[in-house]
A and B are shown apart, each in its own frame.
Chain A
Amino acid sequence: MDDDARVLVDNLGVLMRGLRRAHFPLGTADLKDALKALQCVNLADPVEVEAALAALWCRDWPSRQVFRAAFEQWVMLLLRQSPDVVGLRTYLAEVASRRRDASKMGGVSWFPQPADGELANETVSFGVGATRDEVWRYRPLDRLSDDELHQLLTWYRPRRPLQGWARLYDAKPTGRRLNLGETMRRGREGSEWVRMYFDRPRLEPLRVTLLLDLSGSTQHYHRPLLQFLHAMMRHERALEVYGFSTRLTRLTPALRLTSVDRALAEVAALAPHRGGGTRIGDSLKDLWERERGRGIGGRSTLVVISDGFDEESEDLDRWLSRWAGYLHGRVHWWHPGPSDPRQSRIASVRTLAKHTRVWRIFTLNALGKAWEALQQGESASPEPFGIMEERNEHLMKEGQDSGT
């Protein structure tokens, strides 16, 4: 073996070590194969070398991605005149970290396998075809089967339970306003170092009250929304759910049941006469008179889930403005269904839109966005695929301007 060949073998050995760290099953036979292959291609062309080694050593798409990165770093390493130990170490570590990233995205099955093996052949990788999960998340809620939604929700979690600032303050080493009393009190004991204390508002679970329209016009959305709320009920700490069609019913205890099926059955028993007319105004009145201070307080956020069709809009206007004032504008309106409430000419819809922040929630993805926006001061993250579910507020104003 001449010197050049020995250098090549050494260098390939370095690449191989890196790849082994990234879980490539490579052995001596693979090195021999590689040497044979490299005799066939043009060694001066990095693209050919990379492709040749990849053809031999890669077995699937994720490993191909890892290989590309590893190869690039390997070339960088070779370009330095004398690859020192530190460089080598860094190289190895970086390759290994690539693997961690890659395993996050590639080649994983997103769903637990059900017993009957129905999904067994459905492993689609991220970035290649849309996963089932992606497809489902962008499919309108009323076209998801219970089962699909259930599978989605077992994996779906907002980042953390919703939180809001409380009125109470804690004395903390960092914060907004210097708390002189606390600083002095704690400074009495201890050394000559004075540690400053500041007031910092406490975080508390965000109190959210949802009013779910159980009337006939939103029929298709009842099951998916209840399923979603059931999942959220276990995730959140201060959630209250009311259902209304002709009268207001508290659904929270029903949704607290662990089993979805039992919870849904219980809801059906509690609010038996779905269908019939909607009285959003009346329900808001009931909520004001019966539940204020119990299910909903001054620090709550109110969410109305409805298509906004109501007979009397004067009543609605009065109670909505009262609620909006009481809650400092923390009234959201979630509009299920694909139609755009901006375009509506119906009086009650316009009234609702006037007093609330409007969100459309026809897919689980949109629903998740609306949910995260409940948190004060939290703006929704940018939409990766450009699908319409932005906050409609300003657009709504435009629509009104042009409409009147």
Chain B
Amino acid sequence: MAVVKLQRPKLNFGEKIYFGALIKGFFLTMSHAVKSLRGKSVGAETLASSGLGVTMQFPEQRWDSHLPEYYRGAPALVTDEQGRERCVSCQLCEFICPPKAIKIKPSEIPSDDPWAKVEKRPLEFDIDMIRCIYCGMCEEVCPEQAIYLRKDYLITGLKRADMVHDKKRLYEIGGVRVGLVNKWNELK
């Protein structure tokens, strides 16, 4: 392995006692403090500042309208334009989920159901939001495009049980997604 010898930079006396740098830093900080008091902080507008610096006063103020397009919040299940639940309980998300947050109980769709040809759907689908790390692996692995990370980020509860999103809750958060690949059309 090649050894690279680094030359320490030669410092003059002023730099060696670093007093000048301290003073410089102090003035920089002070200038920002003054700017902040005058409501002129850099990026205050885009970051929806409360007036003092760039700080947003949570929870009175919310991120919601400022969330970027790519924001990834809580994972949730979605239905398609015909109201069909897209998830077929293939359990791939349960398998891939790094902190094992997802628990699925599969079931067979009864033959008198309008979507009987899909054959399979989840009976229970739980995501433990204490465990979820919002990594988005579930969304990526889903072969049916049934699970998406939505914009919800305020997941709170008073009990552990409150933090488990069941199937009903997941569909509430998820809502409808249209225009995705639809493999269960009339040709199937």
Q: Do A and B come from one complex?
A: no
A-side residues, CB < 8 A to B, are none
B-side residues, CB < 8 A to A, are none
